[in-house]
Amino acid sequence: MKRPKLQSIVLWSRYLQIPLYLGMIFALALFSVQFYHELGTLLYHVEKSTESDFILKVLNLVDLLLVANLLVMVIISGYESFIEPILVGSDGQKPGWLGNVDPGTIKIKVATSIVGISSIHLLSTFLNMKAFTTDRLMWQTIIHIAFVVSALFLAFIDKMVTAKHA
């Protein structure tokens, strides 16, 4: 049975996202460059750094890694969810979570990653109080709490929707 032409065009339109995913892969490559630049800076200044400076620089590396993980998760799960299944090679390499992730789960994972990134920024602010005002600290805390509440609401809504369909 042949599909109507409009339906075929609508179905094909999902492939227009491929350049967007390629852009995200490019952004991931840039994050890798930035990570190694920061790591090189850390290694170069390790003897001159105070303990708090060292911790702040390591937290910056963790922050970059979390954002990179977030990009990988969005790229892989988005491609599989909206374009086509990712075929596993003969080596069987496929992330364990792949295939079990729907758009609702992606939103929750993104929200919790943002909470983690926000936590690192807030911790960095606490460790580097001389560079920040109390006003900025207050706003960072308020924004962090907003991220936490948003993530909790997304998880709650997803649980309600999942329970209704189960």
pLDDT band for 136, please (50, 70, 90 cuts): confident
| Residue numbers of the domain that contains 74 | 5-165
Q: DSSP 3-state assignment of 51? A: helix
- Provide the pLDDT for residue 92: 64
Task: Give the count of domains, the chain.
Answer: 1
What is the tens place of the pLDDT at every residue in 24-36?
999 999 999 999 9
Backbone angles phi, psi at 92, to 5 degrees: 75, 15
Quick one: pLDDT at residue 40? 95
Cβ neighbours around 127 below 10 Å, total = 15
Mean pLDDT taken over the chain? 85
Q: Which helix (H) or strand (E) holds 34?
A: helix 18-44
Q: What is the per-residue pLDDT across 29-85, written as a single tens digit (0 to 9) for each? A: 999 999 999 999 999 988 888 888 888 889 889 989 988 988 988 898 888 888 888
Instruction: Count CB neighbours of 63 within 10 A.
Output: 20
